[in-house]
Structure 1
Amino acid sequence: MSESPPQQQLSPQPPHPAVPRPVPSEVPMLGALPQPRRVTRLWRSKAVRAGLVITLLALSGLVILALVREQTGTHGFLVGLGLATLPVPLLMAAFRWLDRVEPGPWKNLLFAFAWGACAAALVAIIANTFATRWIATATADPASADTLGATVIAPIVEESAKAAAVLLIFLFRRRDFTGIVDGVVVAGFTATGFAFTENILYLGNAFGEDQQIGTSGLASVTAATFFVRIVMSPFAHPLFTVLTGIGFGIAALSARRARIRRVALPLLGLALAMGMHALWNSSASLFGPWGFYAVYGAFMVPAFGLLTWLSIWTRQRELRTISAELPAYAAAGWLAHTEPRALSSMRARTVARDFARRTHGRAAAHTVSEYEAYATSLAFLRRRAHRGAAGPDFVEREQELLHHLWQRKHVAGPALTYAARATGRVRTPPPYRDYSGPNPYRH
């Protein structure tokens, strides 16, 4: 006989009212409902929306590919492409590691990267070129137009274009956007894609200059550009856009009634991203030939270290949220009492998956991984309910997550219990000894 899920109420209850379901008598007949328009039905289809997004990004990619190749030439494009690819896997791996507590869907991250590399890059190259030419024509001073375009126009246009990807995922994938780490990761992937395309352009142009003047080796323009953009500052664009992502992440944690805060925080993050970007672009023109290195050492590196610390601290805070929120479900019978301790440790999670893989194979390890993800989502959902940030579908979402957990409990439960004891998260009690018999040392 299979075990049935517990029916008792959770304690304490999250401060969110249940949404009443209409009784059958309140539901109108199907014929009385207004028939949706055909266009509306098509737009509601996930396949149609996904197809439109993919088509838009593909067209943007083809256009940006043609524009970059036109500026750099075929050989310059190939050289720039090869060199610009080098930091991409490292940056993506770093942001994915940060997202390990509650991994976001890969489709969201791939969309963010593609948006940055194609759509945002296309908007930036067109808008920056148009604005710079317009300023040069209006002022009859091409040099000042280039400086103004780099220090003012480019930060506003580029950061706004990258922020659009974060905004879209925040609005249309709200279930996957639950806090600061999600904002940092989505912004990081978007900025990595944008920097990838920009680096192709800069490195390809540098290679073209070397071809024209006939230089090669370490003293070449390509080598210098590679050192500055790939070795010294591959984190520059991600660092700027992460500020926007943090603003959206804090807004996701804010109470739903705090509408001003939910709007102001992303705008504040975007303004800070633009300001940091402007400072970086103007470092050489405003502070002299050594201004770039001064801003790099005195501002960019400390800012990078601070944001890295903040991201890791937020990741640890997510683990503490799991250990604080899941015991209520363990008390209600949904989880074993050892599971919250195991789920709040990344090492214990890994041990649980390895144990399931050794015992029952890859399918079991995948089941444990799914169980960990659903349990984490449940803990974050409960925390948002306590903050007043949960949506009107809180009850349905909670029941959905509990259902997924219960379906996988028979595989994941023993693995997590083993992991909790193997990693010391739960102390194994000493073996029981019966001292009720006669004591041979008693006289």
Structure 2
Amino acid sequence: MSDRIRQPYPTAPHPAIPACDEQLLFDAVPEPARWRYKPRRALWRSAAVRAWTVITLLALCGLVILALVREQTGTEGFAVGLALALLPVPLLMAAFRWLDRVEPGPWRNLLFAFAWGACAAALIAIIANSFATQWIATATADPRSADTIGATIIAPVVEESAKAAAVLLIFLLRRKDFTGIVDGVVVAGFTATGFAFTENILYLGNAFLEDQEFGRSGFASGTAATFVVRILMSPFAHPLFTVLTGIGFGAAALTARRRRLRRTVLPLLGLTLAIGVHALWNGSAVFGPWGFFAVYGLFMVPAFALLTWLAVWSRQRELHTVATQLPPYAAAGWISPAEPLALSSMRARTLARDAAARVHGSAAARAVSEYEGFATSLAFLRHRAHQGTAGPDFTAREQELLHHLWQRKHVASPALTYAARATGRVRIPPPHRDYEGYNPYRG
């Protein structure tokens, strides 16, 4: 047995872990209809279709924003802007989803965030920015300064506040899915991606309309220049701004409930930083192309690199939490000693699902995937309990998660033990019995 498996576990972990018996007698586990933790289903099986009110409101916002953008760009300009603005969306969504692979959040939350950014936040921004700019122009009798003030002061406040509303709603209404910095980054990233998508349609459509009016085409056209600046050079701009807000909410999620002031100040600090960086970015255009490139090279690129490192580090920290919080459950007999090591490796997780699929097909692979999700939620729940942020229903949640793990243990445990051995994270001899006719521990 590996030295990593022999490492001493706490003899009296806090909070106490229920005993592992052959018959589960958990009084706190509710009926299936009231389960707090449910298997992560594929997107087409999501329960998001039940949220008709939210969908209807977002759809109405989408129709209004569609009419406004089409009115400004024209039908042809809208079509061109839509086609070009769509290009970075899958890449950005895939990047944020990759960060969330340790404990994937439900798709309904991410789709809501994207739709909010693309429809509700964009509509709020268009109406509020236009009204504020017109009011300033009327009050100062200087339309040029009104545009500058609107772009550098009004727009950052309005847009970042509108996008932050989606993060706030998920933080308040889907609290069990919002457990740390990675969740904040992912939700904020999806919201900003949706907002940037709509904004890019407007900018690219207007540029195309001007090119048609003045007869410009090719690389000298405004459409090409806008495409290079907004799609190729800075597709991460809006996500970079709003991720700062997400980090603030993520830090608040890690803060003990009794520290109410800190839980309030951290999101506001993140929002303030997002507004400041957004204002700096918009203000760079006021100083001409050299100002833009200076801000882009000296600030935006390093800031993006730093936040990327922070997101990846946070993901590795989540895997470390899994590795350190699950061993007490192995000592209590709920999981095998090798499982914490396998569950703290994304490669081992994938290998375990593949092994189960080879033996029993897609149903077994799905059971292993669900087991991985429940085990990760259990690790994070226990971690929050140590920090004092788990809430009064910790015992009920823990027992429900252990119940779900027990139901899938006969399929998932051998596959994860095999994956730990195959990836070299632990060295143990093959078991004496086969895994239902097939021994996955053989290399």
1:226 aligns with 2:227: yes
1:48 Cα offset (Å): 10
Report the equivalent of 1:52: 53
1:312 aligns with 2:312: yes
Report the equivalent of 1:142: 143
Number of equivalenced pairs? 396
Query: Is the CA contact (8 Å cut-off) linking 2:357 and 2:363 kept in structure 1?
Result: yes
TM-score normalized by structure 1?
0.87
User: Closer, same or farther in 2 for the Cα pair 1:238/1:15, shift >3 Å?
Assistant: farther
46-55 vs 337-346, which moves further: 46-55
- Cα distance in 2 for partners of 1:342, 1:49 equals 35
- Cα distance in 2 for partners of 1:330, 1:362 equals 27
* % identical aligned pairs: 80
Report the equivalent of 1:300: 300
Query: Is the CA contact (8 Å cut-off) linking 2:188 and 2:243 kept in structure 1?
Result: yes
- Cα distance in 1 for partners of 2:231, 2:262 equals 37
Gaps of 5+ in 1: 1-8, 23-45, 433-443
* Residue type of the alignment partner of 2:210: E
Query: Is the CA contact (8 Å cut-off) linking 1:11 and 1:332 kept in structure 2?
Result: no
Report the equivalent of 1:69: 70
1:403 aligns with 2:399: no
Task: Note the alpha carbon deviations across 1:54-106, whole angstroms, 9 max, x for none.
Answer: 11100000000000000000000000000000000000000000000000000
* Residue type of the alignment partner of 1:253: L
- Cα distance in 1 for partners of 2:297, 2:69 equals 31
1:235 aligns with 2:267: no
Aligned to 1:218, what secondary structure does the other structure show? Answer: helix
Aligned to 2:218, what secondary structure does the other structure show? Answer: coil
- Cα distance in 2 for partners of 1:114, 1:99 equals 19
* Residue type of the alignment partner of 1:284: A
- Cα distance in 2 for partners of 1:107, 1:49 equals 10
Report the equivalent of 2:207: 206
Aligned to 2:289, what secondary structure does the other structure show? Answer: coil
User: Closer, same or farther in 2 for the Cα pair 1:83/1:357, shift >3 Å?
Assistant: same
1:360 Cα offset (Å): 0.6
Within-5 A mapping of 1:248-259: 248-259=249-260
TM-score normalized by structure 2?
0.87
Aligned to 1:290, what secondary structure does the other structure show? Answer: helix
1:47 Cα offset (Å): 8.9
Report the equivalent of 1:93: 94
1:363 aligns with 2:363: yes
1:349 aligns with 2:349: yes
User: Closer, same or farther in 2 for the Cα pair 1:327/1:145, shift >3 Å?
Assistant: same
User: Closer, same or farther in 2 for the Cα pair 1:314/1:48, shift >3 Å?
Assistant: closer
* Residue type of the alignment partner of 2:395: V
* Residue type of the alignment partner of 1:91: L
* Residue type of the alignment partner of 2:82: L
User: Closer, same or farther in 2 for the Cα pair 1:352/1:430, shift >3 Å?
Assistant: closer
- Cα distance in 2 for partners of 1:15, 1:50 equals 38
- Cα distance in 2 for partners of 1:168, 1:379 equals 25
User: Closer, same or farther in 2 for the Cα pair 1:406/1:10, shift >3 Å?
Assistant: farther
- Cα distance in 2 for partners of 1:321, 1:11 equals 19
- Cα distance in 1 for partners of 2:48, 2:344 equals 36
* Residue type of the alignment partner of 2:228: F
Report the equivalent of 1:190: 191
Task: Note the alpha carbon deviations across 1:118-171, whole angstroms, 9 max, x for none.
Answer: 000000000000000000000000000000000000000000000000000000
Report the equivalent of 2:122: 121
Query: Is the CA contact (8 Å cut-off) linking 1:155 and 1:278 kept in structure 2?
Result: yes
1:430 Cα offset (Å): 9.7
- Cα distance in 2 for partners of 1:210, 1:345 equals 52
1:290 aligns with 2:285: no
Query: Is the CA contact (8 Å cut-off) linking 2:342 and 2:348 kept in structure 1?
Result: yes
1:10 Cα offset (Å): 8.9
1:392 Cα offset (Å): 1.3
Query: Is the CA contact (8 Å cut-off) linking 1:76 and 1:203 kept in structure 2?
Result: yes
Query: Is the CA contact (8 Å cut-off) linking 2:331 and 2:337 kept in structure 1?
Result: yes
- Cα distance in 2 for partners of 1:11, 1:154 equals 54
* Residue type of the alignment partner of 1:397: R
Report the equivalent of 1:387: 387
